[in-house]
Every structure is written in structure tokens, then in C-alpha cells.
Amino acid sequence: MLLSNVFSASYTIARNRFREAALNLKANLESFAIDEKGSNHEELTIDFAFIGVKQPKWMVVVSSGLHGIEGFFGSAVQLAWMQEAVGRNELQIGTDGAILLIHAINPYGMAWLRRTNEDNIDLNRNFLLSNKTYKDAPFEYSLLNDFLNPKSPPPLIDPFVLIAIRTIWRYGYPVVKQAIAGGQYEFSEGLFFGGSSPAKSTQIIQAALPQWVSSAQQIIHLDFHTGLGKWANYELFPSVLPDPSRYTRVFRQFGLDKIADRVPYKCRGLMGNWLANNLIHTNYIYFNAEFGTYSGLKVLASLRAENRFHFYGKEDHKGIKAQLYEVFCPKASAWRHSALTQGLALVNKALEVSP
Ligand SMILES: [Zn+2]
């Protein structure tokens, strides 16, 4: 199989291929519309494909597109896994397991080539626990707001790197990184905005996912992301676990060198923490599987330019959208082949260690 063929150029192509491959595996398919349209007026949906026995004892969940445009990679992993499963006529789910594939949790972002959703919400800052409120931004974010989110169209020549270096020199890199990426609930046109209430996608996941996994005593959830880490390498960021010692076996099987023992920055509203905290009747092991692409500065520059274009730009003369696609799903065949091979191995590993 030519692995590179599983990468899709648009959300619609990716969704159609996902649904077709799932039907080939006789999956139980369910689609949830988010009541928004794509650029060709197409319907935008989150698609669930369930494969396995009715009341499984264990499950593997593989999700893509929580961060919209990052979904082109996760979608490719899902499609490749399904195509391989059809090819070898083997599902690795035994008699008591199941796999649930969730396609494009943020279909708007995938369709419109954004990381955020229809309301500029970063969905992985939107899953606040019930005792938390959608309020405030870190003080440092307020200081950086003018730099991060200029209220003007992207200029022809953008002195971003110079300003970024000056900013980092002034405040220190850890402070800047934490302030920016940790999430904020105040600047609705800004980067890493966590929203003011649960978004439509969040509500769909919070209502549907617990139902699909209700009978399972153990769940391993791989949520695919890109844009953080070293080129074509991955790291697994587990959710905050109630009792980490219970998960040592699984961590070891995935390889302790691959499990991040540090958080890149403290975040509120992470989907994995919400799931682990709300599905406490089961062993819910969630990994944010982060695949590295370009440098943090380049990723931030592209995000900033696209956000600025989204709110204040007219024509995309500079190929800002194409640039964002590239930083989250590089076209280089070496990256695609390597990342996809590792992504597939992760899904197969989750199926192997689950029973
Ligand atoms: Zn992400």
C-alpha cells in the first residue's frame, strides 16, 4: 500500500474516504452535524465509526481533528488503519474488544483550514471541568496580546521573528510559551482562546463518547495532533490520571521514553482530562499523541498570520492557508511516511496491549 495516498487535500475528501472505509469494515457509523457549512456549502459533521462486539470489555478510541487543520494527519492514520484491516482481513479486537474511530472533532477548522472552530475556540482548552469557569487570561497574555493578535491585515513583510525574539528576550521563553499556549478566556479574537461556554463539538463529544464506551472496563484513547515536538517524531502526553501507578504497565508497553514526563505548558480545558475525570468507572487512559513538524516559532508565526487574515484580511495573496496546512501536515514524503508508520504502529500497539 502506498501510505502517502491516505492524506487528503480537503475535509470533504477526508470525510468521504473515512466513511467509505468504515463501511467496508461493516462499522456502525454515526454522524453529528455541527450546524455550520464548509467553503462549498457542504455539511460539516463529526463522524463516529464503531467496530466490534456490542458490549465490549475493552476499547481503543482513535480521534482526529480536535485542532481542525491538524486532523489531516490523524485522518490519514485512521484511513490507513482501516485500509490495512480490510487488506489483512483481521481486526485485532478478539471476541470482547472494540475500536471507536472519531473523525474531525473540529470539522469547521478542518474544512476552513483553521486550528480553531467556528467561534475561534481552541477546543482543547474548551473542556473545562464543571467546577471551573470560562474566565480570565494569564496576566502575561494580556501583555502579549497586541503582539500576538494585531488588529490589521497581514502586511507584505512581517517583522514577526524580530518582535518574537525581542519579546522572548524581555520575558523569558518559558513565560512566553506558558502565557501563549496555556489558553485564555478573555480575548475572543486571540490565539488559544478557550471559549465562553462548551462549544458544539465539545457538547457532542461529552454526550456521545461516554455512551459508546459505557460497557468497557479499560479504554486506551489516542488523540492525534501535530505541530509540537521534533520533526517526524512523536511524544505521548497522558491526561492527568487519578492514580498514575495503575497505568505503569501500559506506559511501559508504549515505551517510557515516548511518554512525556513533563507538560509543555499547563493548560485548562483539555479534552483528555475531562474524559479521565468524568469516566471514572473505567480505566480511561488518554494520550495526546503529538507529532512534531516545524519549529515552535514557525508554527506560531503561521498561526498568528492565519488568525490575523481570518479577522482582518481579504485576499489570501501570500498563501497563508497553504502555509498553515504545511506546518501541521508537511508535504515532504519522508515526513509523511515516517509519521504515518509511527501513527499506525501506535494504534496497533494500543490494540495489542488492551486485552
Ligand atoms: Zn493539537
Ligand 1: distance of its center to the CA of 116 in Å?
10
For ligand 1, the distance from its centroid to the CA atom of residue 62, given in whole angstroms, is: 14
Please give the pLDDT value at position 34: 97
Domains of the chain listed by start with CATH number: 3-129+193-297+323-353 (3.40.630.10)
Grid coordinates representing 128?
A: 473545562
Distance 88 CA to ligand 1 centre (A): 31
pLDDT at 215 exceeding the cut of 70: yes
One-character DSSP codes across 318-353: T-HHHHHHHHHS---HHHHHHHHHHHHHHHHHHHHH
Looking at residues 6-33, what average pLDDT do you find? 97
Distance of CA 225 from the midpoint of ligand 1 (Å): 4
**240 pLDDT tier (thresholds 50, 70, 90):** confident
- Residue 188 Cα to chain centre, angstroms: 20
What's the CA gap between 53 and 70, in Å, rounded? 30
CA 74, chain centre distance (Å): 8
Distance from the alpha carbon of residue 317 to the mean position of ligand 1, in angstroms: 26
Structure confidence at residue 262 (pLDDT) = 67
Q: What's the 67 CA to ligand 1 centre distance in angstroms?
A: 5
- CA 205 to centroid of ligand 1, rounded, Å: 16
Expressed in angstroms and rounded, the spacing between residue 54 Cα and the centre of ligand 1 is 31
Distance (angstroms) between ligand 1 centre and the Cα of 354 equals 25
Q: What is the pLDDT of residue 56?
A: 96
Model confidence at 97, pLDDT cuts 50, 70, 90, reads very high
Q: How far apart are CA 124 and CA 268, in angstroms?
A: 8
Please state, rounded to an integer, the average pLDDT across all residues of the chain.
Answer: 92
Distance 90 CA to ligand 1 centre (A): 30
Q: What's this model's pTM, rounded to 2 decimal places?
A: 0.96
Please tell me the distance between residue 114's alpha carbon and the centre of ligand 1 in angstroms: 11
CA of 216 to the centre of ligand 1 (A): 26
Nearest residue to 32 via CA among 84, 105, 83, 92: 105
Q: How far is the CA of 251 from the centre of ligand 1 (A)?
A: 21
Count the Cβ atoms, other than its own, within 10 Å of residue 245. 7
Identify the band that residue 160 occupies on the pLDDT scale cut at 50, 70 and 90: confident
Give the pLDDT of residue 1.
53
More confident residue, 86 or 245: 86
Contact present, 283 and 219 (Cβ < 8 Å):
yes
Taking only the tens place, the pLDDT of each residue in 320-348 is 999 999 999 999 999 999 999 999 999 99
**Region 230-246 average pLDDT:** 85
Give the distance (Å) from ligand 1 centre to CA of residue 46. 17
Centre of ligand 1 to C-alpha 167, Å, is: 24
| Ligand 1 centroid – CA 115 distance (Å) | 8
Distance of CA 268 from the midpoint of ligand 1 (Å)? 14
